[in-house]
Amino acid sequence: MKNEVKVKKGDNPMRRALEKIIDFVGEILAMATVCLILFLFVNAKFGFITGDQLTGLKYLRESAILLVVGLKALEFALKRGFIIIFFICMAIIAATAIFMFFPGVLPEFLRIPQEALLSV
């Protein structure tokens, strides 16, 4: 009887473990993203990499930023227990990912010419 752990009402040990995992992975990815951004700033000054590799790193930067923000939003929703906020965050992240991975969808969605996006 002494070894029993009291669990608060609505407190799920599985959810707490998932929060810790998401928090740890989010912190590691955030640090890696900051290092990547720093490398790209230094590369802009000294020009270590050019061409397709640089384009790939910039694409990786955008993906990493979206992933870190998405993980932190998921962590927020899990900690607060708001299922509505969880679904809203996931819908926003999904829409952002669709526009990011399928850039041809954006001009059709916004009804703007493709050439206007190329200047950004």
Is residue 3 included in any domain, yes or no?
Answer: no
Is residue 109 included in any domain, yes or no?
Answer: yes
What are 24-78's pLDDT values in tens digits? 998 999 999 999 999 999 998 998 888 888 888 888 898 898 889 888 888 888 7
pLDDT value at residue 3: 58
**Amino acid identity for residue 52 in this structure:** D
Is residue 85 included in any domain, yes or no?
Answer: yes
Return the SS3 of 26: helix
The count of domains in the chain is 1
Is residue 53 included in any domain, yes or no?
Answer: yes
Whether this model's pTM surpasses 0.75: no
Full residue range of the structural domain in which residue 109 is found: 13-118
The CA distance from 44 to 59, in Å, is 15
Burial 14-35 (b: 16+ CB within 10 A, else e): eeeeebeebeeebeebbeebee
Of 81, 68, 64, 91, give the one whose Cα is nearest residue 22: 68
Instruction: Please report, in angstroms and rounded to a whole number, the separation of the first and last CA atoms in the chain.
Output: 65
pLDDT value at residue 29: 93
Is residue 60 included in any domain, yes or no?
Answer: yes
